Chain A
Amino acid sequence: MAAPKKSVVVKESGQEKANGSPPEFTKAQELAALRDMLLIRRFEEKAGQLYGMGAIGGFCHLYIGQEAVVVGMQMALKQGDQVITGYRDHGHMLACGMDAKGVMAELTGRRGGYSKGKGGSMHMFSMEKNFYGGHGIVGAQVSLGTGLAFANRYRGNDNVALAYFGDGAANQGQVYESFNMAELWKLPVVYVIENNRYAMGTSVSRASAQSDFSKRGASFNIPGKQVDGMDVRAVKAAADEAVAWCRAGNGPFILEMQTYRYRGHSMSDPAKYRTRDEVEKVRHESDPIEQVRNRLLAAKVGEDELKKIDAEVREIVNASADFAQRDPEPDPSELWTDIYR
């Protein structure tokens, strides 16, 4: 595939991190971000409860703490842009606008789930919302997401693919194979590295020779940026820049989102690799939802308005949990369907 002749401006990694505050949100943006992040938070809390009750089985990786990343990124997308991620995917699906009932019912393995109960927590898709999964093999979604971008380039449209992965996946070989091809062919893909500091139980410092993930594309001339992934405004601003870069045909862009997961890697994680204090410190000092709430309160938005959002979100989540427990299991005949088409 012939690459367009454009000079690549490689930006200094990490330079704009914490350089003052990111651009302010309008009140409407703040409210929308609050609502979307709160939906993910409450949904995940409910999923954790249902797991504890035995209604959800297998692996269940919660997104609590990282909500600003997907919500901010999504604000920079337009119709037609694609999203793909790994196994910690519930937040991405809700941010894409997928129905909470369908997601929760998939978690409980019911017929009304997005994959008819055959995929579970890590494997859900929505062609309608351009969400391409939900992939259980660490790093696989990076090559697949690069392929989505390849399709955009092949078709000559201006859609951009977002490929999310974690600091753990960032050490996989196929990530770099994909970086190489994406830059070589100028594919419109934003690689969003969600650095939540731990790949399962291994901290970044114990697994990564280069812990500045925004530099991971440097040897391929892919520009990268470190972003405060706990501030939805910073995420949105970085997303705007990266998506515009890709949409203009300049090739891929890497965003390292510095974030934090409050819960264990999965539900069965005793979290012995970090202290309770560390978690509490992040929660108190930089919780993405509290940041927005505090800004709204400071801007004299009434508690009532915020409570209305709380109530709306709780209702969605409760309805999804209710549906996910009432919906029947898949018909046994479903065992034999969807193997070939």
Chain B
Amino acid sequence: MPIQVLMPALSPTMEKGNLAKWLKKEGEPIKSGDVIAEIETDKATMEVEATDEGTLGRILIPEGTADVAVNTPIAMILADGENAADLAKAPAPAAKAAESAPPAEAKAEAPQPKAAAHPTAPAAVSEPEPEVPEGTEFITQTIREALRDAMAEEMRRDGDVFIMGEEVAEYQGAYKVTQGLLQEFGARRVIDTPITEHGFAGVGVGAAMAGLKPVVEFMTFNFAMQAIDQIINSAAKTLYMSGGQMGCSIVFRGPNGAAARVAAQHSQDYSAWYSQIPGLKVIAPFSAADYKGLLKAAIRDPNPVIFLENEVLYGHTGEVPKLDDYVVPIGKARVVRKGKDVTIISWSMGMTYALKAAEELAKEGIEAEVIDLRTLRPMDTETIIASVQKTGRAVTVEEGWQQSGVGAEVAARIMEHAFDYLDAPVARVSGKDVPMPYAANLEKLALPSVAEVVAAAKAVSYR
């Protein structure tokens, strides 16, 4: 029976890709290991190698097709002795390819499809920022693009801003966040470092002490544990230890928390760790607009800023105000969805659970108010308290661990400032108290779920 070639998943978080080019024609013989096609993901262009031998019987997805879902059959390989007539015997495709789109532009970095918001990212109930004037045009961007634009804009604005990290320049970013920056700003300002987190974090802090404004990218925050001494002891504490004489304006940024199927050492959420440190500001946005506006604010801030991104969110799209200089103030939470019955407080990836849960709860007549903290330090206690005073009930949602977590801090602040308004103890939904497992089912269990948020919201509502 002919063999199906399926659209491969080329990264832990890839869900779809563009079929850029076929390198073999129908009827051509194929050996195991031959490169048969090129696939563009949102991070890179990758080659697909054949794992079977035979003849390329039929191409099912023509080149130039965008948004082909992982596991969609893209071609059929005929074994020895089979011919075109055998193709009909092949099993029905397991998944449907996306609608054919016009051919992508022939360049290595495919533009992000201007698709609707990612299915796992519920559309935020749009409450315009106070800083966005009425009538402002919005553009649809991925979070990855929003981050890149934020850095590019700040680098154009201030010659002291530069970016350093592993694979930020020639590779165009391990997650393609720095795409195009080397081409625009050159090797002086977009600097590939050796794999030495401790060392280059220290070099960055030293450069900041000398007055430059580095943006230090960690490929992921898991690797920043190697550098945490420089971040905390050197970057966060020096202003105080010098009596205000010497501080450092520096941003440490990169993906934080669980990606997908990369197991314990690559899946930790550091929100609570950094948010404990006086001297640091800690930002962990959810929406594309906030990613852009807050990164610009972080780069301008004269203090060391931890900017926690999320790999799963990089490909998500959102509406970003088309303004020359869109800067979102640090330290302000945002009420993303209004409601009167229960307050759900989250940030970054946790917002995906919170917003979906709010939709579920609405179906059952519970109106949840959802707050995106956006900044973890300084924390916007006021917005939390104002909401809890209205709803009398609160649920926190985070992917990180519960003990000494950010949810624990939020719960304590609610207790301190709104105890008399509470109609139920604050509930915490969090990552489970285990190292992140690899197996898909266990990983899912280790992370929070929409069902857990719904259950917690009902529990505090006594429903």
Q: Does A146 contact B202, Cβ atoms closer than 8 Å?
A: yes
The complex places the Cα of A237 from the Cα of B230 at a distance, in Å, of 33
B244 / chain A contacts, CB cutoff of 8 Å: 116, 337-338, 341
| A196 interfacial by beta-carbon distance below 8 Å | no
| A291 interfacial by beta-carbon distance below 8 Å | no
Interface residues of B in 184-218 (CB under 8 A from A): 187-188, 191, 193-194, 196, 198-212
The complex places the Cα of A310 from the Cα of B204 at a distance, in Å, of 43
Instruction: Tell me which of A42-50, A53-61, A148-156, A252-260 binds B.
Output: A148-156
| A177 interfacial by beta-carbon distance below 8 Å | yes
| B246 interfacial by beta-carbon distance below 8 Å | yes
The complex places the Cα of A148 from the Cα of B206 at a distance, in Å, of 5
Question: Provided the pairs A136-B233, A140-B229 are in contact, do residues A181 and B242 lie with their beta carbons within 8 angstroms?
Answer: no
B247 / chain A contacts, CB cutoff of 8 Å: 341
Cβ-defined partner of B245 (8 Å) among A125, A146, A154: A125
Question: Provided the pairs A145-B206, A150-B207, A151-B207 are in contact, do residues A174 and B245 lie with their beta carbons within 8 angstroms?
Answer: no
Interface residues of B in 288-310 (CB under 8 A from A): 302-303
The complex places the Cα of A142 from the Cα of B201 at a distance, in Å, of 12
Distance between A226 CB and nearest chain B CB, rounded to angstroms: 25
Q: Does B203 contact A150, Cβ atoms closer than 8 Å?
A: yes
| B239 interfacial by beta-carbon distance below 8 Å | yes
Q: Does B233 contact A181, Cβ atoms closer than 8 Å?
A: no
Main secondary structure of the interface of A (DSSP, over half): mixed
| B64 interfacial by beta-carbon distance below 8 Å | no
| A22 interfacial by beta-carbon distance below 8 Å | no
Q: Does B229 contact A137, Cβ atoms closer than 8 Å?
A: yes
Closest A residue to B279 by CB, please name it.
Answer: A339
Q: Does B303 contact A340, Cβ atoms closer than 8 Å?
A: yes
| B162 interfacial by beta-carbon distance below 8 Å | yes
Q: Does B240 contact A339, Cβ atoms closer than 8 Å?
A: yes
B234-263: CB near A (< 8 Å → 1, else 0) gives 100011111111110000000000000000
Cβ-defined partner of A127 (8 Å) among B194, B206, B233, B245: B245
A217 / chain B contacts, CB cutoff of 8 Å: none
| A118 interfacial by beta-carbon distance below 8 Å | yes
Counting chain B CB atoms within 10 Å of each CB, the highest count among A113, A115, A143 belongs to A143
- Give the number of chain B interface residues (Cβ < 8 Å): 41
A188-228: CB near B (< 8 Å → 1, else 0) gives 00000000000000000000000000000000000000000
| B278 interfacial by beta-carbon distance below 8 Å | yes
The complex places the Cα of A121 from the Cα of B303 at a distance, in Å, of 24
Interface residues of A in 282-341 (CB under 8 A from B): 337-341
Cβ-defined partner of B203 (8 Å) among A116, A133, A134, A143: A143
| A28 interfacial by beta-carbon distance below 8 Å | no
Q: Does B194 contact A181, Cβ atoms closer than 8 Å?
A: yes
Closest A residue to B197 by CB, please name it.
Answer: A177
| A249 interfacial by beta-carbon distance below 8 Å | no
Q: Does B210 contact A118, Cβ atoms closer than 8 Å?
A: no
The complex places the Cα of A322 from the Cα of B176 at a distance, in Å, of 60
A113 / chain B contacts, CB cutoff of 8 Å: 243
Distance between B238 CB and nearest chain A CB, rounded to angstroms: 7
Q: Does B233 contact A140, Cβ atoms closer than 8 Å?
A: yes
The complex places the Cα of A127 from the Cα of B240 at a distance, in Å, of 15
B278 / chain A contacts, CB cutoff of 8 Å: 339
| A126 interfacial by beta-carbon distance below 8 Å | yes
Question: Provided the pairs A177-B199, A340-B303, A341-B302 are in contact, do residues A154 and B207 lie with their beta carbons within 8 angstroms?
Answer: yes
Question: Provided the pairs A143-B198, A173-B198 are in contact, do residues A181 and B188 lie with their beta carbons within 8 angstroms?
Answer: no
Closest A residue to B301 by CB, please name it.
Answer: A340
| A178 interfacial by beta-carbon distance below 8 Å | yes
A151 / chain B contacts, CB cutoff of 8 Å: 206-207, 210-212
The complex places the Cα of A337 from the Cα of B188 at a distance, in Å, of 36
Closest A residue to B201 by CB, please name it.
Answer: A143
The complex places the Cα of A151 from the Cα of B281 at a distance, in Å, of 24
Distance between A29 CB and nearest chain B CB, rounded to angstroms: 30
Distance between A340 CB and nearest chain B CB, rounded to angstroms: 5
Distance between A3 CB and nearest chain B CB, rounded to angstroms: 10
Q: Does B202 contact A144, Cβ atoms closer than 8 Å?
A: yes
A1 / chain B contacts, CB cutoff of 8 Å: 187-188, 191
Interface residues of A in 98-140 (CB under 8 A from B): 113-119, 123-127, 132-137, 140
A82 / chain B contacts, CB cutoff of 8 Å: 210
B302 / chain A contacts, CB cutoff of 8 Å: 341
A78-111: CB near B (< 8 Å → 1, else 0) gives 0000101000000000000000000000000000
Distance between B364 CB and nearest chain A CB, rounded to angstroms: 44
Distance between B70 CB and nearest chain A CB, rounded to angstroms: 38
Q: Does B234 contact A177, Cβ atoms closer than 8 Å?
A: no
B198 / chain A contacts, CB cutoff of 8 Å: 143, 173-174, 177
The complex places the Cα of A162 from the Cα of B279 at a distance, in Å, of 27
Q: Does A178 contact B202, Cβ atoms closer than 8 Å?
A: yes
| A9 interfacial by beta-carbon distance below 8 Å | no
B279 / chain A contacts, CB cutoff of 8 Å: 339-340
The complex places the Cα of A119 from the Cα of B240 at a distance, in Å, of 8
Distance between A108 CB and nearest chain B CB, rounded to angstroms: 14
| A14 interfacial by beta-carbon distance below 8 Å | no
Q: Does A150 contact B206, Cβ atoms closer than 8 Å?
A: yes
Question: Provided the pairs A174-B198, A181-B199, A339-B279 are in contact, do residues A123 and B241 lie with their beta carbons within 8 angstroms?
Answer: yes
Q: Does B243 contact A338, Cβ atoms closer than 8 Å?
A: yes
Cβ-defined partner of A177 (8 Å) among B196, B205, B238: B196
Closest B residue to A177 by CB, please name it.
Answer: B199
The complex places the Cα of A119 from the Cα of B162 at a distance, in Å, of 30
Q: Does B240 contact A148, Cβ atoms closer than 8 Å?
A: no
Cβ-defined partner of A144 (8 Å) among B187, B193, B206, B245: B206
Distance between B203 CB and nearest chain A CB, rounded to angstroms: 4
Q: Does A148 contact B199, Cβ atoms closer than 8 Å?
A: no
A341 / chain B contacts, CB cutoff of 8 Å: 239, 244, 247, 302-303
Q: Lowest 8 A-B CB distances belong to which pairs?
A: A147-B206, A143-B202, A177-B199, A116-B243, A151-B210, A144-B206, A177-B196, A338-B244
11 A-B residue pairs with CB within 8 Å? A1-B188, A113-B243, A123-B238, A125-B245, A143-B199, A143-B200, A146-B203, A147-B202, A148-B210, A152-B210, A180-B194
Using a CB–CB distance below 8 Å, which chain B residues touch chain A?
162, 187-188, 191, 193-194, 196, 198-212, 229-230, 233-234, 238-247, 278-279, 281, 302-303
Extra contacts besides A143-B199, A143-B203 (7): CB < 8 Å: A84-B206, A125-B238, A133-B238, A137-B229, A148-B210, A150-B212, A180-B196
